[in-house]
Amino acid sequence: MRHPVTNKHTVQQLLDATGFAILATEGAGQPHASLIAITPFQGWRQLLFATYRDTLKYRNLQHNPKVSVLADGCKASRGGEREGFVVTAVGQAHDISADQHAAALQAHLKRHPDLAVFLQSPDCVLVAVAVQAYQVVRSIDDVTWWTVDDLNKP
């Protein structure tokens, strides 16, 4: 049964409800997946995360900034079936610019206060994924794509 995604609130709802996601990067032809703490920033336009500079994910981003970020909004029902949906953001990662750093850091700390020591480390970098599109999957035959421009429409 199809459950159409009708507006930007569906994407925003999942981003607001989940604090973690899987980041997919690529380096030297090898895929790499990492669990990250995410914070929506500027609505659904950017997803923030932090990492140490001396990690495989960060090195991969330096060579190829194209990423996907998967947030799981599914839960198992009483009958064992999965209910809900999964959202994958596709975009390009970049270090937060100096003029956005204070606001981005404050937003990430507000959402993940347990990361305060980590975020204050001199080797930690705050990264934003500039989202180009979201893929919403409710079932194997119910997949919808939304560009950021689509989500901006009333």
Domain regions of the chain by residue span: 8-149
Q: Which two tokens stand for residue 26?
A: 């690529």
Return the top range by mean pLDDT from 38-47, 55-64, 66-75.
Answer: 55-64
CA–CA gap between residue 39 and residue 73 (Å, rounded): 15
**80 Cβ contact partners less than 8 Å away, ≥ 6 residues apart:** none
Cβ atoms 8, 44 nearer than 8 A? yes
Residue 82 confidence class, pLDDT cut points 50, 70, 90: low
* Span of 22-26, 75-79, 120-124 with lowest mean pLDDT: 75-79
Write down the CATH number for the domain with range 8-149.
Answer: 2.30.110.10
Of 134 and 144, the one with more pLDDT = 134
Residue 31 CA, distance from chain mean position: 17
Q: Go through 93-103 and write b for each residue having 16 or more CB atoms within 10 A of its CB, e for each that does not.
A: beebeeebeee
| Whether the predicted pLDDT of 78 surpasses 60 | no
Q: Which two tokens stand for residue 71?
A: 């947030």
Task: Strands of 81-123 (E only): list them.
Answer: 82-83, 86-95
**117 Cβ contact partners less than 8 Å away, ≥ 6 residues apart:** none
Residue 140 confidence class, pLDDT cut points 50, 70, 90: confident
Say how many CA atoms lie within 13 Å of 51 toward its Cβ: 23
Q: Are strands 66-72 and 20-27 parallel, antiparallel or unpaired?
A: antiparallel
Q: Residue 19 corresponds to which amino acid? A: G
